[in-house]
Amino acid sequence: MPAYAGPWWKGAVIYQIYPRSFMDSNNDGIGDLPGITARLDHVASLGVDAVWISPFFTSPMHDFGYDVADFCGVDPIFGNLDDFDHLIAKAHHFGIKVIIDQVYSHSSDLHPWFAESRSSRDNAKADWYVWADPKIDGSPPNNWQSIFGGPAWAWDARRQQYYLHNFLIQQPDLNLHNPAVQDALLETSRFWLDRGVDGFRIDAVLHMMHDPKLTDNPPSLNNHKLRTRGHDFQENIYNQGHPAIIDFLKRLRRLTDEYDARFTVAEVGGTAPEDFTKACAAGSTRLHSAYNFDFLYADEFTPDLICSSLAKWPDDGQTGWPTWAFENHDAPRAISRWAKPEHRHDFAVMKMALLCALRGNIILYQGEELGLTQVDIPFEQVRDPEALRNWPLTLFRDGARTPMPWAAQEENAGFGKGETWLPQGPNHAALAVDRQNADPQSLLQITRILIDLRKAHPALRLGAVAECNICGGLLELIRECEGERIAGWFNMSSQPAQIEASKIAEGRVIFAHGEIADGMLTGYGVRLQSLA
């Protein structure tokens, strides 16, 4: 494998771990930090560069860890700080970097900062959250709506004011317009940097700062989208995306630059303007990358979607470096969204090959390497607060958060013993790690091959997009870097696709799935070739 002299994170393959559902070490039905540590050998076997661990901080778990009550604490259901230190040490032993979430836009309403802030209008932290007086009739200060449904304002009798919550009522928005709040948040990040973390995924960047004038949002002009919440009826302009967010990101970058080889990526969100997403990672003084949502909620998976998304992030020396994912803990499993059951294996191989061929960093969500499907959770077992509030028109996030299957014949497919916090998928035991380890044609084994190819070929890891061509359901993608050219053909349709014989006659095949017969590439077929 050629030596790679660039920053470790550029072109990296990052594996997302959702702690509640990865591995349960103490049989309480919930995954934990020791469970992650025990299964890092699996992660290492994939050949990934890093893990991103979703929140494990002290929390009442109204939003399963994204409502943080102590930014420097580990919630007891996940373990303790010693467990985290052991996880870091073992990951580093395997050569795996560790990225964790940082949730700056809001806290839990049980955080001591909020307890003090709500106690009066003149305490030391009175201005650490977003407070506003009611209108003369007692109604909220403006028309902003929460992402989880209902008004984005909650009345607090102690202060006789409303507080802003862009998410759950238990998640009051921090006031990052206040420099003291920024200072405090950066100190919590320093705590984790000192503990050895290699980077941060910054959650909900778009919602870090609001318009201080509290201007009403205008009505949405998109009358064709599905509307399940009041939030969907507005152009969400003033409750999010304030320009001063970029200045805070610069402060964060200066902090991480005090440490060696750290990485930062912005999770901006699906409603963010393209320019704002790019601004988060532009130049050398902001974050290293921005996490794109182009694919996570797409109704269709098409060559046009791939080419248009890549075109937004040209290799022009000015535009930042993107990070891509087809799945995560907030989006339905891609294999269930985009493929019929009879095509799922071939589709999953094509999708994995395409992910590994994209320019940017790529994120693999736990279980994606197994081809896990979306699970239909009965209403009585739903845990997701968003789903409960907006049933049945909801994203069904629980269905992508079910426990990992490790051993097909064991209780709960090896996740742990006893009742699990969410049920196992009914077909997931058949996709368990132990079964796929024993099958050289499994998606798991193919995923390892594809990740190795990405790491072995600079054109795949770092190269520019020389061409992105569309011919019906066939995508032709050519990447190049320092004289190396890799061409990829991806049939993104279940039907055979015409492929030019003159093109596939060139170079050396480095990966193939499906057959080419009479100039036709089989449905969901793939061919990668080294041209130089």
C-alpha 372 chain-centroid distance? 17
Active site positions, annotated: 203, 258
List all residues 6 or more positions away from 436 whose beta carbon is below 8 Å from its beta carbon. Answer: 370, 442, 443, 444, 445
Strand-pair category, 131-132 with 153-156: unpaired
Say which amino acid occupies 532: A
Strand pairing category for 153-156 and 464-471:
unpaired
Q: Which amino acid type is present at position 459?
A: A
- To the nearest 10°, report the CA torsion of 125, 126, 128, 129: 140
Structure tokens at 142: 């403006």
Strands, DSSP E only, in 310-463? 321-325, 361-365
Phi, psi of 91 (to 5 degrees): -60, -45
How far separated are the first and last CA of the chain, in Å rounded? 16
- Tokens coding 250: 């610069």
Measured distance CA(286)–CA(197) in Å, rounded:
19
Buried b (16+ CB within 10 A) or exposed e, 489-513: bbbbbeebbebeeeebeeeeebbbb
8 Å CB contact between 373 and 335:
yes
3 state SS of 81: helix
Report CA dihedral (68, 69, 72, 73) to the nearest 10 degrees: -100
Cross-strand bridge partners of residue 290 = 266, 322
Determine whether 518 is exposed, middle or buried from the number of CB atoms within 10 Å of its CB (0-12, 13-18, 19+).
exposed
Q: How many CA atoms lie within 13 A of 219 on its CB side?
A: 2
| Cα–Cα dist 206/229, whole Å | 19
Does residue 522 contact residue 496 with C-beta atoms inside 8 Å? yes
Strand intervals (E) in 45-118 = 50-53, 57-58, 70-74, 97-103
